Structure 1
Amino acid sequence: MKKQNVSGAFVAASWIALGAGMIGYIAGLVRAEMELNEKGYYFTILLY
């Protein structure tokens, strides 16, 4: 089976989407009204 190559634009768009999602998640986590230990749990889940 032949391996397909992906374009550089697709790779760049994927990294940008991942970064934007992580920034949005962290921004929501900072603004959330939770206890610090609960925020830490959700931040750890993001790191996994």
Structure 2
Amino acid sequence: MAKEKFERNKPHVNVGTIGHVDHGKTTLTAALTKVCSETWGGSARAFDQIDNA
């Protein structure tokens, strides 16, 4: 059975952060996610509300 072709019709961005422990990587990523969702639509969820976090 063939898989359906994946349609990429929504804008997306991959964010990678590198830094020392306790230097704000998670906080920065959360802030970027919130601003992007407010600017371009979408939803931002709290980190503890993400199933695979």
Q: Taking structure 1 as the reference length, what is the TM-score of the superposition? A: 0.44
Q: Judging by fraction of residues, say which structure has more helix.
A: 1
